[in-house]
Amino acid sequence: MIKEYNTIKEVAGPLMLVEQVEGAKYEELVEIELPDGELRNGRVLEVNRDQVLIQLFEGVTGVNVFNTKVRFKSEVFCCSKRKPRGCNSLNSRI
């Protein structure tokens, strides 16, 4: 199940801190929707209670902490050619 949040607290370099998040997992894939509708991708680097640190893959230009949406896709990031069970690869999509 995809969960969507607009509770971004801070953006610094390629990192984004999102608050009030439930059920996020380490290495989970995220989709970031900018105010203009452009989509970016990222992954969860750290989970601390209801705070999640995300690494953005395509940069932060255009990200607005008030109007950007973050979707947690319930898929785990994997960059290996031999995917372990339950691992989704982004290699073909990046």
Q: What element of type H or E holds 75?
A: strand 69-78
pLDDT confidence bin for 54, thresholds 50/70/90: very high
> Which residue type, as a one-letter code, is found at position 37?
G
Computed from CA positions of residues 78, 82, 88, 91, in that sequence, does the dihedral angle turn out positive or negative? positive
pLDDT in tens, 32-43: 999 999 999 999
Q: Angle at CA 24, nearest 5°, toward 77 and 16?
A: 80
Report the top-level CATH class of 3-83: mainly beta
The domain ranges of the chain are 3-83
Average confidence (pLDDT) over 7-11? 96
Is residue 81 over pLDDT 70? Answer: no
What integer pLDDT is reported at residue 65 of this predicted model?
94
How many angstroms separate the CA atoms of 29 and 76, rounded?
A: 6
Could you tell me if residue 62 is left (phi over 0), alpha (psi between -120 and 50 degrees) or otherwise beta?
Answer: left
- Rounded to two decimals, the pTM is 0.80
How many angstroms separate the CA atoms of 90 and 42, rounded?
A: 10
